[in-house]
């Protein structure tokens, strides 16, 4: 048993499951957006803003935003523990990733709700 305090859920199984669930959400969102753009070739600002003002779309988008955060954190954490051996640099890299993801999520929520 290797105890890790910086991984996402501290349990290998939990991280693995979250990685897969978030991947499913991300692919559904990608397929939806591509499909929407294909079905609306002459998309107007009104249509686009109507889409994003509906509650279900905001829920779906927020879920995707959180999934990006979780997915990239687990992925980058794995990569950093594989390739960055000096503890100081690895910790700095992980902290930077964590900070970036936090900023992106808060910023994304602000964009989504247009606050």
Partner 1 sequence: MLVSIYRYNPEVDDAPYMKDYQIDLPAGKDLMVLDVLNLLKAQDPSISYRRSCREGVCGSDGMNMSGKNGLACITPVSQAVKNGKLVLRPLPGLPVVRDLVVDMGQFYKQYEKIRPYLLNDTPVPAIERLQSPEEREKLDGLYECILCACCSTACPSFWWNPDKFVGPSGLLQAYRFLADSRDTATQERLSDLDDPFSVFRCHGIMNCVNVCPKGLNPTKAIGNIRTMLLQRAT
Q: What is the DSSP string of 61-108?
A: HHHHHHHHHHHHHHHHHHHHHHH--SHHHHHHHHHHHHHHHHHHHHHH
Q: Residues touching partner 1: how many (CB under 8 A)?
A: 17
Question: Should residue 5 be labelled a site residue for partner 1 when binding is judged by CB under 8 A?
Answer: no
Question: Should residue 91 be labelled a site residue for partner 1 when binding is judged by CB under 8 A?
Answer: no
Stretch of 13-21, 53-61, 86-94, 105-113 contacting partner 1, by CB under 8 A: 13-21
Q: Is 71 annotated as a binding residue?
A: yes
Give dist(CA 103, CA 42) in Å, integer. Answer: 33
Which residues sit at the interface with partner 1, rule CB under 8 A?
Answer: 1-4, 7, 10-17, 78, 81-83
């Amino acid at each position: 048993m290797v105890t890790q305090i910086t991984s996402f859920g501290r349990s290998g199984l939990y991280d693995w499951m979250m990685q897969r669930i978030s991947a499913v959400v991300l692919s559904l969102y990608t397929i939806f957006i591509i499909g929407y753009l294909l079905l609306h070739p002459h998309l107007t600002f009104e249509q686009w803003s109507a889409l994003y003002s509906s509650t279900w779309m905001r829920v779906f988008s927020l879920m995707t935003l959180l999934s990006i955060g979780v997915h990239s954190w687990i992925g980058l954490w794995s990569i950093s523990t594989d390739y960055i051996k000096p503890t100081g640099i690895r910790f700095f890299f992980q902290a930077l990733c964590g900070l970036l993801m936090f900023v992106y999520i808060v910023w994304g929520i602000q964009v989504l709700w247009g606050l």
